[in-house]
Structure formats: C-alpha cells, structure tokens
Amino acid sequence: MAIKLAVIPVAGRGTRLIPLTKSLPKEMLPVGRKPVVQYVVEELSRSGLERLLFVTGATKTAIENYFDLDVELIDHLRKTGKEDLLEELAFEKADLQYFYTRQRRQLGLGHAILCAESFIGNEPFVVALGDTILGVPSKANIVRRMIEQFELKKADAVIAFEEVPESEVHRYGIAAPVSLRDPEVFRLARIVEKPNVAEAPSCLAVASRYVFRPSIFGYLRDTKPGKNNEIQLTDAIQAMIADGKKVYGVRVLPEEHRFDIGNFGSYFDAFLEFALADPDHGEEVRRKMESLLNKG
C-alpha cells in the first residue's frame, strides 16, 4: 500500500535560536531563497506523500499562512506585470493537502507525534522534522528509499541515519545495528537517545526522517518522560525493538547530508551552502566570500 500520510512536527520552541525564534518559527527561517519548511514539504512531495499534518504550537501560525493560496498576491503580480514571479509561488498549487493540529504543551517530540494519532488511523506514515533539510535543493531521495525498504522488509519502522563525528553523538539518537553486512540498510539491535561518547554504540545518528506503522502510538503512550523530561521518540522506538518489532535503518547518501536548523552553527552552514548553490547569485556569493576570506 502506498504511503500518503506524513506528520511534520514543528511545535518545538527553538530556544537554541533565541532571539530569532522569539516570534519567528525556526521552520520559517530563510535558507537561500526559501524557508526551511518549504524544502521539507518539497522533499515529501517528491517522495509521493500527499497529506501532510503539521503538529504546530502557538508561535507557529506563519507556517499555515505560508502554505495557503495567496489569491490577492497572485492578482497583484498579474496586474503589475510581474507574472515572472508567479513561478516562485507555484508551490502553493502543489497537489498536496495540508492539515494542522496543535501540541498544546511542549512535552517532547514523542508527544508531538502522539498528537497525530487520530489523524493517522490505521495507515503507515512518514515523520519528517520540519527544522531539518536533507541535501542541497532537490537531491534527497531518502524517504522514497525508506518507504521501499519498509514495504520490502514488512518493517514496523524505518529510520534514516547519518554518520556523525564522535563529538556530535551526544546531540542525537544513536543506532546499534545488528550487523553492518549491508551498511546501507540494517536492522537495529538498539537505539539510544543522546548518549555520551563512551556509551554510544556507533556514530550513526538519526537523520530526522522516519516511517512508522501506527503501532508506534501504543509505545509512545507507554513512554515515560526521559532526557530533558520530554517524551522521547527514541525511547518509544527502543521499546518497539525490545518487543521484537522489526526496526530498520537506512543510511543517507553524502548528497543527502542533514542540515539541522536547530542551532546557529548548522543554520549558518546551511545558508552558506544554499547561497553558493543559487543558480543566479551563487557565483557572486562565492567571489564575495573569497574576497572576504582573503582580507582576513
């Protein structure tokens, strides 16, 4: 059965990006020409997803406005002879349905996903974090590959992983693969949330994309608050694994590198790379950067 539903959690407060995120959702921060969340939606659309549920919070209404059809703006562009700009708004007409629900208290990512339970019903679904871009524009195909593996292996969950330096394992959920005979697709023996280096079973870090059967909701409901006193998705996945469920990892390709727009370092990194890749301005940006670096 083709997977058509995706949940995009965007309810986190983004405290690591204060003051930017005081009134602006981090998912709306510009990376090159577009806000972060538009890349996420385009990636899902390319992978065949059709119905997208955003789990939002009080400071996130800009996201709903962004994906709305702005008839007045379209009219204005037509009347003022700026039809060429209509192309930039083509995403408004994509064959996607948008849904929104509120996570009324920020109790963690696991809890945010639980807010989607009645929307999802009995179908398998994708989860894509709204603050993470995979690959410089239009490169990532990871969700499609994850869905293929989900069906092929009759899995209960498939998770994207990216190898990170040892110094970063404390930031992510880290996999313990059963074996790495096939390093691209592997079954999970264990998953640990934000371990310190000594406890990390590998350097394979969760890369913000997941495919789940609805059975995940039962595990989420039984999950007690963990790290940071939040209901951790990783803890629910670990409970699935401990229960003998089939949980697989799929590795992202180098060109699907994760840009986590949750901290300034990674955000600046993403902006620079996307600005350099811009078809009209990339060259100019490169020259400017070179001249700035030569001055230093």
**Taking CB under 6 A as the rule, does residue 32 contact ligand UTP?**
no
User: Considering the complex, what minimum distance in angstroms separates the CB of residue 8 from ligand UTP?
Assistant: 8
Work out whether 108 is an interface residue with ligand UTP (CB under 6 A).
Answer: yes
Are residues 176 and 191 in contact, defined by beta-carbon separation less than 8 angstroms? yes
Of positions 10, 175, 220, 240, contacts ligand UTP by CB under 6 A: 10
Q: Is 109 in the site for ligand UTP (CB under 6 A)?
A: yes
Q: For residue 62, state whether it binds ligand UTP (rule: CB under 6 A).
A: no
Cis bond before residue 19 (omega within 30° of 0): yes
Contact 69, 93 (CB under 8 A): yes
Give residues 117-146 in contact with ligand UTP (rule: CB under 6 A). Answer: 129-131
Q: Which stretch binds ligand UTP (CB under 6 A): 10-18, 30-38, 89-97, 211-219?
A: 10-18
Is residue 55 a contact residue for ligand UTP (CB under 6 A)? Answer: yes
Interface pick for ligand UTP out of 106, 141, 149, 215 (rule CB under 6 A)? 106
Of 3, 5, 7, 11, the one binding ligand UTP (CB under 6 A) is 11
In this complex, which beta carbon is closest to ligand UTP, that of residue 185 or of residue 220? 220
Residue 214 vs residues 34, 122, 160, 255: alpha-carbon distances, Å = 32, 6, 18, 30
User: Residue 13, exposed/middle/buried by CB under 10 A (0-12, 13-18, 19+)?
Assistant: middle
The single residue listed with the structure tokens 């019903």 is: 121
Per-residue CA distances from 53 to 98, 117, 248, 275, 290 (Å): 6, 11, 24, 29, 42
- Kindly list the residues in this chain that would bind ligand UTP in the complex (CB under 6 A): 9-16, 55, 103, 106-109, 111-112, 129-131, 262
